[in-house]
């Protein structure tokens, strides 16, 4: 592993590694990709991967306390992320903490020691104001792993932090460009979805809104910047979802990006994000990881309530079927049912559950009717009267209410 020792205004080893000064942590850029990121070596050569490394010197004041350790280096990590974000425009980050852990075994006089890596899932950063919260989220995930009950039960405990790696990759948020046709299910005038045929990726009307600093095709990061420059606008992004139901492909719409300023602004805009072909954003582990060259496009949802028409129309119209006279009811498909029977003696029969039935409503009603007949038969039975004992008879005679 090669380390880039070119640092501006940073002290040399001889300057800070002295008996008079407290040992400190210094991050250095790794010239070659971290050994566990060999698969991304090609990207690194293109400037898309940039990792940093820091060694934790023995005697560092927070080495033995995970939370205090991360708090002590939080500002240094934030400075690195700010610099890389300015260069790359978007980051995917993760930090890996190599920790010294020990296990005490009764059968051995000395504890067992080993170095173990703790890491969290990849997190995206597209704005500088997200950096501190992202760092806290990452190190809290690692602390949760260190304090995990399974690790504690196995006998291992945290001793000290040894090394930390900052894994940084370039992150390209969603981009919309080039005209795409609407799916057939959405290409209906009554849905009031406007699909503009862009004459130019940079097509915009500067007289309506401020597009200064916005790159086209617009990314999610650009949308956040647009809202900052135009405080009277809030923009929500939706995506298509394809699902199979009874052998047929259905089209639905799901939320992809929601504005932080909804219901507080004059103009709230809903956009539908399309991609070419049959590829679905749900097929991707990272929904923002769109390959270069893939055509993408935004369309305008003028009336979100009109999308209820995507549901199957159940006719409730008297006479001729005119849309203005119809009540639109979405068709619901029952897939399972279940119920229990509670008895007066506070006992409960086990649940009745039926699944994978083609006539599920009919089966439910038939089962309920059968159980109801059993209950009514029991209620119709006349229980024999029992002779009251003298004590109960006296209570009955003196009672003034039931």
Ranges of each domain in the chain: 3-170, 189-310, 335-402
Q: Could you tell me the two tokens for 251?
A: 């089209």
Residues 6+ apart with CB under 8 A from 59: 22, 23
3 Cα distance to chain centroid: 35
Q: What is the pLDDT along the chain (402 residues), one digit of tens a residue?
A: 655 554 444 444 444 444 567 889 999 998 776 555 665 555 555 667 889 999 999 999 999 999 999 999 999 999 999 999 888 888 889 999 999 999 988 777 888 999 999 999 888 887 888 899 999 999 999 999 998 877 777 889 999 999 999 999 887 655 544 556 666 666 766 666 666 665 444 444 444 667 776 666 566 667 777 888 888 888 888 877 777 666 676 777 777 777 776 556 677 788 887 766 544 444 443 444 444 455 667 777 776 655 554 554 444 455 444 545 555 555 556 666 777 787 776 666 766 666 656 677 788 888 888 888 888 888 888 777 777 778 878 887 887 766
* C-alpha atoms less than 13 angstroms from C-alpha of 151 in its C-beta half-sphere: 15
Q: At what angle do helices 66-88 and 131-146 cross, to 10 degrees?
A: 140
């Amino acid at each position: 592993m090669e380390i880039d020792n070119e640092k501006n205004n940073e002290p040399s080893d001889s300057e800070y590694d002295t008996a008079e000064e407290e040992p400190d942590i210094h991050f250095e850029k790794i010239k070659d990709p971290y050994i566990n990121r060999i698969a991304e070596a090609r990207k690194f050569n293109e400037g898309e991967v940039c990792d940093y490394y820091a060694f934790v010197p023995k005697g560092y004041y927070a080495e033995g306390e995970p939370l205090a350790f991360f708090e002590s280096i939080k500002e240094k990590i934030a400075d690195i992320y700010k610099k890389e974000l300015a260069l790359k425009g978007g980051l995917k980050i993760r930090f890996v903490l190599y920790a010294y852990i020990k296990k005490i075994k009764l059968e051995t006089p000395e504890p067992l020691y080993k170095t173990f890596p703790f890491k969290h899932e990849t997190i995206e950063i597209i704005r500088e104001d997200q950096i501190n919260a992202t760092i806290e989220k990452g190190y809290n995930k690692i602390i949760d792993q260190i304090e995990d009950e399974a690790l504690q039960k196995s006998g291992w405990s945290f001793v000290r932090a040894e090394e930390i790696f900052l894994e940084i990759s370039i992150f390209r948020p969603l981009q919309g460009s080039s005209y795409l046709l609407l799916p057939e299910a959405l290409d209906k005038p009554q849905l009031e979805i406007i699909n503009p045929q862009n004459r130019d990726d940079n097509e915009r009307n500067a007289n309506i809104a401020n597009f200064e600093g916005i790159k086209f095709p617009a990314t999610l990061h650009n949308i956040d910047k647009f809202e900052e420059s135009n405080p009277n606008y809030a923009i929500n992004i939706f995506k298509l979802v394809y699902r199979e139901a009874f052998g047929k492909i259905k089209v639905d719409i799901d939320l992809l990006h929601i504005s932080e300023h909804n219901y507080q602004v004059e103009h709230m805009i809903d956009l539908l994000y399309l991609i070419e072909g049959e590829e679905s954003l749900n097929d991707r582990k990272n929904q923002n990881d769109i390959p270069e060259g893939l055509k993408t496009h935004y369309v305008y949802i003028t009336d979100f309530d009109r999308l209820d028409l995507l549901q199957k129309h159940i006719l409730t119209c008297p006479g001729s079927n005119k849309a203005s006279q119809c009540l639109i009811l979405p068709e619901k498909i029952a897939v399972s049912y279940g119920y229990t029977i509670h008895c007066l003696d506070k006992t409960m029969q086990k649940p009745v559950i039926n699944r994978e039935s083609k006539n599920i409503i009919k089966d439910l009603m038939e089962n309920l009717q059968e159980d109801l007949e059993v209950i009514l038969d029991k209620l119709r039975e006349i229980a024999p009267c029992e002779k009251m004992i003298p004590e109960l008879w006296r209570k009955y005679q003196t009672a003034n209410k039931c």
